[in-house]
Amino acid sequence: MNKLNRLKNQISLLLIIFILIPISSGMADTKNMKTIAIIPFETNSQEDISYITSGVLNMLRSRLSWKGNVAVVKTGIVTKELSGITESSESETIIKLGGKTTADYVITGIVTQFSGAYSIDTKVYNLKEKSFLTFYGQSKTIDKIISQIDIIAAKINKKMFDRTTVSYEKFKKEKIITEEDLRRMNPERMMPTRPTGEDEEKPWWKIW
């Protein structure tokens, strides 16, 4: 139990460090300012992992905020507006929230824990296009969750706002190195790779 508490404290500390470290690149363009509303993530676990979902929310806020380009609606405002929405369907709730917060995008997600492993499923809804894109990350151990959140945020930045961050460059470099190493070790087992420029995310899907 003490070991678990120490691990939770270490993760909380790392989350604070990641949130405080600015990761950004590119020049601001106020003419194309976008707004994001992030709905607190749900959990699918027999244990209390609220500290993880809280960290996910804080890291996404920090990583997606981009001065002059992308603004993230304050959590308190999102929570307040959600409490006044009674629509039963997810799409109706998202549309309502977008209208109340004047958000261009709404992010939802769920953190699942199973047999000691974790997965993070995230959807980014484009209210103008009435579509969404999914982002996914998984970790075999709790101590790897932070890096997965950072990668998801980096992918969202690149895919949604064409923003190349330090985290994204690091992810792409490590991914390329890993694939090259595997190809050299077991070339006969390698599946065909995706065309250059394609990401692993699912395509856009209409939601209404």
Question: Is 193:179 a contact under the CB 8 Å cutoff?
Answer: yes
Hey, CA dihedral for 193, 166, 125, 147, is it positive or negative? positive
User: Minimum mean pLDDT among 27-31, 60-64, 85-89: which range?
Assistant: 27-31
Report pLDDT digits (tens) over 174-202: 887 666 665 665 554 444 444 444 454 55
Report pLDDT digits (tens) over 123-174: 999 999 999 999 999 988 888 888 899 999 999 999 999 999 999 998 888 8
119's enclosing H/E stretch is: strand 117-126
Question: Is 138:120 a contact under the CB 8 Å cutoff?
Answer: yes
Torsion of CA 54, 71, 101, 204, to 10 degrees: -80
Nearest to 171 by CA among 190, 158, 185, 186: 158
pLDDT band for position 85 (cuts 50, 70, 90):
very high
Token look-up 């027999």 returns 46
Mean pLDDT of 98-119: 94
- DSSP secondary-structure letter at 102? T
pLDDT, residue 181, reads: 61
pLDDT band for position 13 (cuts 50, 70, 90):
low
- Statement: residue 19 has pLDDT above 80: no
- DSSP secondary-structure letter at 66? B
pTM of the model: 0.73
pLDDT, residue 201, reads: 52
d(C-alpha 11, C-alpha 119), whole Å = 16
Alpha helix positions (H), the chain: 2-20, 50-64, 75-83, 90-101, 145-161, 166-185
Looking only at the bridges linking them, the beta strands covering 131-139 and 205-206 are antiparallel
User: Minimum mean pLDDT among 21-25, 31-35, 106-110: which range?
Assistant: 21-25
pLDDT, residue 27, reads: 44
- Which one is predicted more confidently, 15 or 105? 105
Domains of the chain: 2-186+202-206 (3.40.50.10610)
